[in-house]
Amino acid sequence: MKRQFLFSILIFLAANGVSQDKLVENADYFSGVPVWIGQKYELVAKGFERGDRLVLSSETSQGRSYRLKVRHKAGDTVFVKIPSQFQTGKYRLTLMRGRQRQFLGYDSLWVARQAPRVPRVGAHRGYCQAPGAVANSRASLRGAIALGVYGSEFDIWLTQDNHLVVNHDATLHGVSMEKSSWAEVRRLKLANGESLSSFSEFVEIIKTSPYTKLFVEVKKHKDPKRSVGAAQMAMTMLEEAHLLDKAEFLSFSLEVCQSLCQRRPQAIVYYLGGDKSPRALHDLGITAFNYKMAAFRKHPRWIEEAHALGLVVTCRGLNKREHMVAMANQGVDNMATDDPVEALKVRHYYQQCAAHFQAKK
């Protein structure tokens, strides 16, 4: 009975021209992004051949189907042209080669009518995948600068003898940042062999940056006054180096954010707590916020409200392409990520889209 059922399935597939052969491998494409009429929409896969067709079949009950010629661009990259009557929707992607077919996946695409906001990229704790780099290392900052991201985030603490040091946690190898001297913490080693960095070393490195900024996260110390003191010291060091235009600040501490904004109202200072509305932050004099996706899902109008108030918006924890695209579509100013290479690809796509509309003006 099972053999007869399997034979019936094979007969059905053959009768409908469906091949079980894999025509291409490792198919990749941007899903959920804005498209425009006439766009050369790209796909990447190994095995595309001349004469291939891509069928986009709408998943809606009364949706359309588009059969598009696959054109080669370079290497494993091909493209199809978005047709003039293309409609926003979710599509099933099928590769056709003669009577052979291969299902590639689903793609949600929407037809843009105006230029989208192009999100910038912030590398969380630097570009940690750079050769010889680990989080919060000097190598990760240099890697972020070489990669060309907008900002390289790192964390600072104030030692017992009032030196600013770079480390994420309150301790490293059991040594407390707050309770130890600079000489004690300087002897600590990161996983890549670097000694723990001082904030002043990061300031020196950023002097070489043509684009990338320091994203300075001021950690919450046990004594709130020490948190504010660390923030003020960092701003003073940047002022003295004439580098305030190459730095933005972050903190979970409202006191830290307010103190920096009061001292320099034009500074970009992100509140990280996730619990304050754009209006509440604006009324406190805070100029920006950096929240996780969950906050924006719970409050879908916060990005629009923030921009209306002149606040800068970052979404952090964007380590999957679909999440980057989703937040780019919502209009965030910055994407903070542990995968800046992928985020830069997403940014490049939105740059192309924006350039198309700019050229039409």
Please list the pLDDT of the chain residue by residue as tens digits (361 residues): 444 444 344 334 444 444 457 999 999 999 999 999 999 999 999 999 999 999 999 987 677 899 999 999 999 999 999 999 999 999 999 999 999 999 999 999 999 999 999 999 999 999 999 999 999 999 999 999 999 999 999 999 999 999 999 999 999 999 999 999 999 999 999 999 999 999 999 999 999 999 999 999 999 999 999 999 999 999 999 999 999 999 999 999 999 999 999 999 999 999 999 999 999 999 999 999 999 999 999 999 999 999 999 999 999 999 999 999 999 999 999 999 999 999 999 999 999 999 999 997 6
Q: E strands along the chain, which residues?
A: 25-28, 34-35, 40-46, 53-58, 65-69, 71-74, 77-81, 89-97, 100-111, 120-123, 151-158, 164-166, 171-172, 175-176, 213-218, 247-251, 269-271, 288-292, 312-316, 334-337
Q: Backbone phi, then psi, for 101, in 5-degree steps?
A: -140, 150
Q: Given this structure, which CATH class describes domain 13-111?
A: mainly beta
What is the CB-side half-sphere exposure of residue 238 using CA atoms within 13 A?
Answer: 24
DSSP secondary structure string for all residues of 221-235: -SSHHHHHHHHHHHH
Identify which of 93, 94, 88 has the alpha carbon closest to the alpha carbon of residue 33.
Answer: 88
Q: Which two tokens stand for residue 62?
A: 């009364």
Q: The whole model's pTM is what?
A: 0.91
In the chain, what are the domain boundaries? 13-111, 120-360
Q: Which CATH superfamily is 120-360 part of?
A: Phosphatidylinositol (PI) phosphodiesterase (3.20.20.190)
Say what angle helices 138-147 and 340-360 make with each other, to 10 degrees.
30
Q: Quick one: CA torsion of 120, 122, 128, 129, rounded to 10 degrees?
A: -10
Confidence at residue 20, expressed as pLDDT on a 0 to 100 scale: 53
In sequence order, which residues have a C-beta less than 8 Å from that of residue 163 and are 6 or more positions away? 181, 182, 198
Q: Residue 231: what residue type?
A: A
Confidence at residue 5, expressed as pLDDT on a 0 to 100 scale: 40
